A = this chain, B = another copy of it.
């Protein structure tokens, strides 16, 4: 039987929360609480994964780095997901890195335990595979959005994605940092953020963003944000899953 405290802590990750109680109890011994600092690297490109992480208050970006050093983000993972799908997909490594963009906590589960449970429990497997599809949706939308939409819209999308995964209206990150995610120049982010600030959607000051008008951001963002959100809801939280 899970203590109320443990249950409360563990279900701050929505994937874990979606699991049946007896499953959670079985998983608990394999889960370790960890914390990530801003910018901390969970794994490097090509590095063998030793564990997966279920973020609770942290947010993790899947980042690609090109040979010339330019970078772009392919996906963003918070308490709605899990970092390290390659472990149960069977590849064990991926050609991208994972970086914490919001400092905070997560639950860590080592490779063996994960693979064992994946093979053993149908509900666990089903949930993880559905999550994989949600992740694919997010990545493919990023592919299209990166191609077709302006920096300003993509910035809105990124802010909303991050805001969704954080329990606050304040984010701590520099424009330089964001430009690495968006795959653009820092100056372009400055200009775009300036416009969002001018129309009163956000406030920006030295690595400290405040979301002032969330609805306004939702109005300024491209369709990509909603498509991914709706599809994720459908895949993970809608039907009688778990």
A22 at the interface (CB under 8 A from B): no
Asked if B148 and A66 make an inter-chain contact with CB atoms under 8 angstroms apart, the answer reads: yes
Contact of A140 among B62, B183, B235 (CB under 8 A): B62
Interface of A, helix, strand, loop or mixed by DSSP: helix
Asked if A130 and B89 make an inter-chain contact with CB atoms under 8 angstroms apart, the answer reads: yes
* A88 vs B91: C-alpha distance when bound (angstroms): 18
Contact of A72 among B67, B74, B148 (CB under 8 A): B148
Q: Chain B contacts of A96 at CB under 8 A?
A: 140
Q: How far is the CB of A230 from chain B (nearest CB, A)?
A: 9
* A90 vs B133: C-alpha distance when bound (angstroms): 8
Q: Chain B contacts of A231 at CB under 8 A?
A: 95
Interface string of A145-180 (1 = CB under 8 A from B): 011100000000000000000000000000000000
Asked if B136 and A85 make an inter-chain contact with CB atoms under 8 angstroms apart, the answer reads: yes
Q: Chain B contacts of A141 at CB under 8 A?
A: 64, 95
* Known contacts A85-B136, A132-B132, A136-B139; A144 and B72 CB within 8 A of each other: yes
Q: Which residue of B lies closest to A119 (CB)?
A: B122
Q: Which of A72, A85, A136 has the most CB of B within 10 A?
A: A136
Q: Which of A62, A96, A142 has the most CB of B within 10 A?
A: A142
Asked if B94 and A130 make an inter-chain contact with CB atoms under 8 angstroms apart, the answer reads: no
A55 at the interface (CB under 8 A from B): no
Interface string of A89-117 (1 = CB under 8 A from B): 11100111000000000000000000000
Asked if B90 and A144 make an inter-chain contact with CB atoms under 8 angstroms apart, the answer reads: no
Question: Which residues of A are interface residues toward B (Cβ below 8 A)?
Answer: 62, 64, 66-67, 70, 72, 74-75, 85-86, 88-91, 94-96, 126, 129-130, 132-137, 139-144, 146-148, 183, 223, 227, 231, 234-235
